[in-house]
DNA sequence: CTGAAAGCGCTTACAG
DNA sequence: CTGAAAGCGCTTACAG
């Protein structure tokens, strides 16, 4: 059956694809893409050094030459090779992002924020991870950080509060900015959000709905944002003259199971709360799950509020009233700090900036059972 | 009050932190870390070339010299600078990961999988993103890809099915491996999972519980895994001799709202299904949300199954019966492919590998209302 | 099996 | 304001 054989042959061919159809051959590919600074210099009839000056925005170049260089670079589609630049000078044009637990829902937003800042400045973002539970953590960190050729590292919780990581970074001479650190603020530049204010606003929202017995599920005390959220809650209660029942304040671990457990204790209380403010969304989901398991309808029998505005917050029923945390903005600001610092090579002292949160009212909060809502959430 | 002033001064000092306490000065930092291949060569009393050979695992080095080099490198804590290596040779020791929508929950796992493979091979992972909705997409891609100096790129859905991206990558001569591509398999090496088999198994689980009116919420038809999941569903139904009611098969978009909408149609049917198999977790959450809104208890009145085993699947109530997708493993395999290819610089044809999924039975599935469960889910 | 030389594509002092 | 030279730390042919 020559026909069948021929067909079989054809199919074998089809199954032997090109590698992403990369250009004819490896050699040719590299030749094709090698427009170097020399070519630009020749076309603009200036020295290589002048091209370098123009492209790096250095001063003291005659406007006429600058234009010639810019045009030549554009016409030739010249892109400086990052590795050549980092080889020759002190900057690598790369910053690193140290990944945390991948199940944390905001990693993606955070990376994207950092990416935005990087792109804007011609930087690239390297992702790394460490197993903080390893026994030879110090050795692992040493080995990782000394191979890293970056202009700085972005640290999110809980890595930014891990002394082993900070020490290893210091030792390797790698600069870092911590996002929402728990403490030790004078150790590096930081970027944070006004969690305290946001928690205050959320508590005021619940109070405005008419709630008085409001429970609070805190995060780990070691976590800085966690403490500030609790502070904001207490302050808002105090501002309204409502006493906080300490039996209604519980510490969770920012995890789903800990939300489950906290709710289990809170909702089986004789005088149970009419609202629970969980200080992150994942714990809020745990509270809702427990409420539903106990036959309490949310928000009819119990209002639940979260914090973070994780993507899931809008994907559950009832959708979660929460606080939008400016994750992407914080990461972008942190990356900007690192990049600016690398450019100046000295510059001003590290800063501590704080960005704003936003209240997101959805379906999981409502007036308490049998109560008519008070005039408005903002009534003083 | 000299004491108070002194104290105030101290506090100002504290608020002016070092930048991550990076070594004394920038200059010194670079000096400190510069153990080069020359130092290793001197200590081992061999040529630089020999050190390079040993460190790159090239053959033809006398065992004695090899040991000397290894020892010297270890004693000196020598780490070759990536940028120097990529400058000199054809490899960059970096692969790129093209981010998709950050709200997709598995990005983190996927990156971590790729990272594992990279670390093992001395590679680094660069993260990039593109705005596929930009009008000047082609230009943006051209500009991004030509500045990228990487040994390959990892593409996850839907990027791996975006012709504009694949074309730009081909043109820039960047190799790529696609994870779970929708089609056009002969265009690159791919890594996939056996979604068809897994969907078959999940459907069998539902059939085994006694369900017969089983609805299926498909993903977008363009998505390859989506089609295969539907195939697996149909095959399992056919294998048991149960006819598929086409009114119970709906196409969603792998998003929460589309799950909401599909469920709205399915659950208001006169003869509504007793089970819904949504082909991803996010849509399954939408189905559960709608069921609860309509007053149907899950799993008492309706069983719901998902697909992916996203972190959220275990964080909702009832927790979601689903299929664990080997995200990290697929990404690691894809990275391995790219790395192996860069090492060989030619090597065998691209492969198409497939990894296994796992059924995760949780709380959202149960026997249909008023039915006693059949003997076992695996009854043929 | 081993090494001396050249070169990758940029930026940095250093002169003018 | 501009340029010629040296050099970053490796790997690649090329000899032996």
The 10s digit of each residue's pLDDT in A178-187 is 999 988 888 9
For B268, the token pair is 């208001």
Is residue A164 over pLDDT 80? yes
- Higher-confidence position of A98 and B315: A98
Q: Is residue A298 within 8 Å of A285, Cβ to Cβ?
A: no
Contact of B107 with B323, CB cutoff 8 Å: no
Q: How far apart are CA A287 and CA A319, in angstroms?
A: 13
Hey, is the C-beta of B92 within 8 angstroms of any chain A C-beta?
Answer: yes
Rounded to 10°, the helix A48-55/A63-76 angle is 90
DSSP string, A269-298: STT--SEEEESSHHHHHHHHHHHHHTT--T
Which residue is associated with the tokens 């893409």? A33
**Residue B269 vs residues B51, B102, B244, B248, B255: alpha-carbon distances, Å:** 73, 35, 15, 9, 22
Interface of A with B in 66-85 (CB under 8 A): 77, 79, 81-84
What's the sign of the alpha-carbon dihedral A19, A22, A25, A27? negative
What whole-number distance in Å separates Cα of residue A6 and Cα of residue A261?
67
Tell if the CB–CB gap between A316 and B33 is shorter than 8 Å.
Answer: no
Strand C proximal residues, A:87-106, Cβ < 7 Å: 87-91
Measured distance CA(A26)–CA(B89) in Å, rounded: 13
Residue with tokens 């935005």: A116
Identify the pLDDT of residue B59: 80
Give the tokens for residue B271: 């003869």
User: How confident is the model over A274-289, as pLDDT tens digits?
Assistant: 999 999 999 999 999 8
How far apart, in whole angstroms, are the C-alpha atoms of residue B373 and residue A134?
46
Band of the pLDDT at B33, cuts 50, 70, 90? low
Whether the CB-CB separation of A142 and A174 falls below 8 Å is answered with no
* Residue A7 CB partners (closer than 8 Å, separation 6+): none
Upstream peptide bond of B186 is cis (omega within 30 degrees of 0) = no
For residue A10, what pLDDT band results from cuts at 50, 70 and 90? very low
Mean pLDDT of chain A: 86
Q: Give the CA A210 to C1' C11 distance in Å.
A: 66
Q: Find and list the nucleotides of strand C having atoms within 7 Å of a protein beta carbon.
A: 1-5, 7-13
Alpha-carbon span B224 to B195, nearest angstrom: 10
- Give the Cα separation of A318 and B164 in Å (integer): 39
Residue B372: the pLDDT is: 57
| CB-CB under 8 Å, A174 with B22 | yes
Ranges A113-117, A118-122, B170-174, most confident: A113-117
The strand pairing partners of A128, in sequence order, are: A98
**Are B83 and A147 within 8 A, CB to CB?**
no
Name B residues 100-129 whose Cβ lies under 7 Å from strand C: none
* A303-305 and A275-278 strand pairing: parallel
The rounded distance, in Å, linking the Cα atoms of B233 and B104 is 24
pLDDT above 90 covers a percentage of chain B that reads 59
Lowest average pLDDT, out of A15-24, A344-353, B115-124, B268-277, goes to: A15-24
In the block, which residue shows the tokens 């308490």?
Answer: A368
Confidence (pLDDT) at A237? 98
Per-residue pLDDT tens digits for B204-214: 999 999 999 99
SS3 category, B104: coil
Neighboring chain A residues of B282 at a CB cutoff of 8 Å: 315
Q: Do B81 and A149 touch (CB under 8 A)?
A: yes
CB atoms closer than 10 angstroms to residue B63: 7
Q: Whole-angstrom Cα distance, residue B269 to residue A295?
A: 27
- Tell me phi and psi for residue A351, to 5 degrees: -110, 165
CB under 8 Å to B50, separation ≥6 — which residues? B41, B44, B61, B65, B69
Closest CA to A233 of A307, A315, A297, A175: A307
Q: Which residue has the tokens 């048991």?
A: B240
User: Which pLDDT tens digit goes with each residue over B277-331?
Assistant: 999 999 999 999 899 889 999 999 999 999 999 888 988 889 999 999 999 999 9
Beta carbons of B345 and A26 less than 8 Å apart: yes
pTM above 0.95, yes or no: no
Nearest Cα neighbor of B373 from B365, B359, B318, B248 is: B365
Query: Which residue does chain B place closest to A295, by CA atoms?
Result: B297
In this predicted model, what pLDDT tens digit does every residue of B336-362 receive, in sequence order? Answer: 999 998 887 555 566 899 999 999 999
Structure tokens at B235: 């095959």
Per-residue pLDDT at A343 exceeds 90: no
B173 touches strand C (CB under 7 A): no
Angle separating helix axes B63-76 and B37-44, nearest 10 degrees: 130
CA distance B305 to B273: 13
Whether pLDDT at A380 is above 50: no
Q: How far is B30 from chain A (nearest CA, A)?
A: 8
Rounded CA gap, B315 and B305, in Å?
Answer: 14
Better-predicted residue by pLDDT, A94 or A2: A94
pLDDT at B21: 38
Query: To the nearest whole percent, how much of chain B has pLDDT over 70?
Result: 87
Interface touch B288/A317, C-beta < 8 Å? yes
- CA A99/CA A187 separation, integer angstroms: 20
The overall average pLDDT reported for chain B is: 86
Q: Which residues contact B360 (CB under 8 A, 6 or more apart)?
A: B309, B313, B321, B322, B323, B324
Helices and strands per DSSP (H, E), number in chain A: 14, 12
How far is residue B102 CA from its own chain's centroid? 12
Within the 107-126 window of chain B, which residues sit less than 8 Å (CB to CB) from chain A? 107-109, 111-112, 115, 122, 124-126
């Amino acid at each position: 059956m020559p026909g069948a054989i021929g067909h079989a042959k054809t199919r074998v061919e089809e199954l032997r694809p090109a590698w992403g159809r990369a250009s004819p051959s490896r050699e040719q590919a590299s030749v094709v893409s090698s427009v170097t600074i020399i070519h630009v210099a020749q076309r603009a009839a200036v020295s290589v050094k002048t091209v370098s000056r123009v492209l790096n925005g250095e001063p003291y170049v005659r406007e006429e030459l600058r234009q010639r260089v810019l045009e030549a670079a554009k016409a030739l589609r010249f892109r400086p090779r990052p590795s050549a630049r980092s080889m020759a000078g002190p900057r690598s044009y790369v910053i690193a992002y140290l990944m945390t637990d991948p199940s944390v829902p905001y990693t993606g937003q955070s990376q994207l924020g950092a990416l935005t800042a990087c792109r804007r400045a011609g930087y690239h973002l390297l992702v790394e991870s460490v197993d903080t539970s390893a026994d030879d953590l110090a050795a692992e960190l040493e080995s990782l950080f000394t191979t890293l050729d970056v202009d700085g590292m972005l640290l999110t919780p809980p890595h930014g509060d891990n002394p082993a990581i900070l020490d290893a970074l210091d030792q390797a001479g790698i600069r870092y900015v911590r996002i929402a650190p728990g403490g030790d603020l004078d150790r590096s530049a930081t970027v944070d959000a006004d969690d305290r204010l946001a928690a205050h606003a959320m508590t005021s929202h619940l109070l405005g709905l008419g709630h008085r017995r409001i429970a609070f599920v805190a995060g780990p005390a070691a976590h800085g944002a966690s403490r500030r959220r609790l502070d904001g809650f207490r302050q808002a209660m105090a501002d309204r003259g409502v006493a906080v029942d300490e039996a209604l304040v519980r510490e969770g671990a920012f995890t789903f199971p800990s939300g489950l457990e906290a709710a289990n204790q809170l909702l089986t209380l004789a005088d149970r709360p009419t609202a629970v403010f969980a200080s992150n969304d994942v714990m809020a989901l745990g509270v809702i799950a427990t409420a539903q398991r106990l036959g309490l309808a949310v928000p009819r029998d119990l209002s639940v509020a979260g914090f973070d505005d994780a993507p899931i917050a809008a994907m559950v029923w009832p959708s979660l009233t929460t606080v939008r945390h400016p994750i992407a903005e914080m990461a972008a600001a942190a990356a900007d700090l690192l990049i600016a610092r690398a450019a100046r090579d000295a510059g001003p002292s590290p800063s501590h900036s704080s960005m704003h949160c936003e209240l997101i009212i959805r379906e999981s909060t409502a007036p308490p059972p049998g109560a008519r809502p008070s005039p408005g959430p903002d009534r003083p």
